[in-house]
Amino acid sequence: QKEVEQNSGPLSVPEGAIASLNCTYSDRGSQSFFWYRQYSGKSPELIMFIYSNGDKEDGRFTAQLNKASQYVSLLIRDSQPSDSATYLCAVNGDGSSNTGKLIFGQGTTLQVKP
Amino acid sequence: DTAVSQTPKYLVTQMGNDKSIKCEQNLGHDTMYWYKQDSKKFLKIMFSYNNKELIINETVPNRFSPKSPDKAHLNLHINSLELGDSAVYFCASSYPGFGTDTQYFGPGTRLTVL
């Protein structure tokens, strides 16, 4: 059974701090990695995707991928109260077949305190 | 313009009833998905269709039957509803394929079975 693991939290950080969210996955054949944000009562929305080892930056968000260690992380710099949400890590679950199957972690709840 | 829409937004029904949820996307995507998010916020894929063809069929009871009349629509019919079917059902769409497989989610349908 392919799995994606996240610490459910809550992760609490003060406003302006860096929030670090981590995710591990079991399938070494996974090629695509995604971070979605989900506000309470809303649908998941894509924040970032990453395909290659290393860092990928987009504004205040940085995704980090280490395929050898099978983890992917999301850093949020200068955290704002509006960043308070559940962050879902998702990994493609079909290797190179490209069926679009995503396996989601259980999500990490982030609380940014003013 | 709404990219991925679902109807109804809320659905409350009795055990044993049959109900349908409809999904439409105007993004021109080839692939559509149904996900179930349970009370613990765990998001799990159920089905996907690529251009009206069933691609992914996870371990889902036969009471659940997806139908795709065209590539912009994917409906979900549920027979003989059970208490355990209570969840939020999300529709999503994407172009499948490495580098283009970002999935966009609809607003969700909250199903409550009494």
Q: Could you read off the pLDDT tens digit of each residue along chain B, which spans 114 residues?
A: 669 999 999 999 999 999 999 999 999 888 899 999 998 888 999 998 888 888 888 888 999 999 999 989 999 999 999 999 999 999 999 876 655 578 999 999 999 999
Q: Is A23 at the interface with chain B, CB within 8 A?
A: no
Query: Tokens standing for A37?
Result: 């944000």
Per-residue model confidence (pLDDT) at position A96? 60
Q: What are phi and psi of B83, to 5 degrees?
A: -55, -40
Weakest-pLDDT range from A17-31, A39-53, B84-98: B84-98
Q: What is the pLDDT of residue B41?
A: 83
pLDDT at B102: 84
Which one, of B4, B80, B73, B88, lies nearest residue B38 by Cα?
A: B88
Of residues B33, B41, B101, nearest to A98 (C-beta): B101
Q: What is the least distance, in Å, from the CA of B100 to any CA of chain A?
A: 10
Q: Using 50, 70 and 90 to split pLDDT, how confident is the model at A63?
A: very high
The pLDDT value given to residue A29:
86
Instruction: Identify the residue among B45, B88, B91 best suited for mutation to test binding to A, counting A beta carbons within 10 A and taking the highest.
Output: B45
Test B31 with A100 for CB contact under 8 angstroms.
Answer: yes
Whether the per-residue pLDDT at A65 is higher than 90: the answer is yes
pLDDT at B78: 96
Q: How far apart are CA B93 and CA B15, in angstroms?
A: 30
pLDDT attached to residue B98: 52
For residue A49 the two structure tokens come to 């995707």
pLDDT, chain A, mean: 92
Helix (H) or strand (E) holding B65: strand B64-70
Is the pLDDT at A28 greater than 60, yes or no?
yes
- The string of pLDDT tens digits covering residues A68-105 is 999 999 999 999 999 999 999 999 877 666 677 889 99
